[in-house]
């Protein structure tokens, strides 16, 4: 159960992510896990709702080598690594994205396990597009290879909203990200080894959801517009920030004609931000009793996604067959 911080709005979510930068190369898996747990301690005082860890965080850039069968954990039962992360989720009342190799029905997957606030496994995502070296047997991993996940990525309901997950090379296939948007994702957690810089910015604004990345190189939180909410650096290899899911993304025209009336009625209860070079705008509720959807309905304003959907239907109707 979510215990709402009274200083936050009802749909404000405190998100955190951890970078591996500075923790590699490492000699042993145990040392890596210990270092990650210590780095996670930095974010707990901020009472995060969810923490994202990097892709295969316990083995990436670690000299100690084990076979796939030794590394992989049953995705339905918390194994040695997952159990230690689950203990932290329960202790600190937060969700944690725990990316490890899992095994299911004789197959191995590069996975992200979603742990809920009491440390239970609440969902599992299988990397759809593992690298060639991951997939080919006995190339990256000893004793087998990674099986690509199903092409339809799942979404997961949490007590603060709907989330999706992608992993590393998934960033290069745009369809996964669109499908997550269509399934209702409001935030995508992205464990990775590489940072995928502006590629993630593109995914955020194209799909109008938040992206939280935790990689071997950096940690970032991106707004629904692709703006960087927070990023790590030399002096802190983790990020933690609050984002507001009570926020809508609009095409500027002709919606802008009604912005004055909205601001006149609601004043500081709302926040409108205009992105002039892009012809975008966002409307955000700053009042716990005011929902953005109610404002959009009151002033007959479509979101960008709704506007594009309507335009596509009209175009398809009149397109020559």
CA distance 52 to 11: 19
The distance from CA 76 to its chain's CA centroid, rounded to whole angstroms, is: 22
Listed in sequence order, the residues at least 6 apart from 116 whose beta carbon sits closer than 8 Å to its beta carbon are: 89, 95, 122, 158
Q: pLDDT value at position 7?
A: 80
Find out whether 126 and 154 touch, Cβ atoms under 8 Å.
no
Mean pLDDT within 155-168: 98
pLDDT in tens, 234-280: 999 999 999 999 999 999 999 999 999 999 999 999 999 999 999 99
pLDDT in tens, 88-143: 999 999 999 999 999 999 999 999 999 999 999 999 999 999 999 999 999 999 99
Q: pLDDT value at position 2?
A: 43
| 5 against 86, higher pLDDT | 86
Instruction: Report whether pLDDT(1) > 70.
Output: no
Q: pLDDT value at position 5?
A: 60
Mean pLDDT within 287-297: 98
Q: pLDDT value at position 3?
A: 47
Q: Could you tell me the pLDDT band of residue 303, with boundaries at 50, 70 and 90?
A: very high
């Amino acid at each position: 159960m979510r215990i709402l911080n009274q200083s936050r709005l009802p749909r404000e979510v405190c998100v955190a992510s951890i970078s591996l930068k500075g923790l590699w190369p490492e000699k042993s898996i145990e040392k890596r896990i210990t270092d990650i747990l210590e780095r996670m301690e930095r974010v707990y005082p901020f009472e995060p709702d969810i923490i994202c860890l990097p892709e295969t965080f316990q083995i990436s850039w670690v000299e100690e080598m084990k076979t796939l069968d030794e590394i992989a954990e049953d995705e339905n039962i918390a194994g040695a690594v997952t159990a230690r992360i689950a203990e932290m989720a329960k202790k600190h009342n937060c969700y944690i994205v725990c990316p490890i190799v899992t095994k299911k029905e004789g197959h191995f997957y590069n996975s992200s396990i979603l742990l809920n606030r009491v440390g239970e496994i609440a969902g599992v995502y299988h990397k759809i597009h593992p690298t060639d070296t991951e997939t080919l047997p006995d190339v990256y991993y000893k004793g087998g290879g990674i099986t690509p996940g199903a092409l339809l990525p799942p979404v997961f309901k949490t007590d603060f909203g709907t989330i999706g997950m992608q992993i590393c090379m998934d960033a290069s296939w745009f369809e996964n990200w669109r499908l997550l948007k269509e399934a209702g994702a409001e935030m995508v957690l992205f464990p990775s080894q590489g940072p995928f810089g502006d590629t993630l910015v593109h995914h955020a604004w194209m799909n109008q959801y938040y992206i939280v990345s935790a990689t071997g190189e950096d940690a970032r939180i991106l707004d629904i517009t692709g703006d960087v909410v927070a990023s790590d650096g030399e002096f802190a290899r983790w990020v933690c920030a609050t984002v507001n899911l009570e926020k809508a993304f609009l095409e500027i025209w002709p919606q802008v004609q009604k912005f004055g009336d909205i601001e006149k009625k609601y004043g500081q209860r709302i926040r409108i931000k205009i992105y002039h070079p892009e012809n975008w705008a966002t409307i955000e509720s700053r009042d716990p009793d005011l929902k953005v959807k109610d404002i959009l309905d009151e002033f007959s304003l479509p979101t960008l996604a709704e506007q594009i959907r309507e335009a596509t239907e009209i175009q398809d109707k009149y397109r020559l067959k």
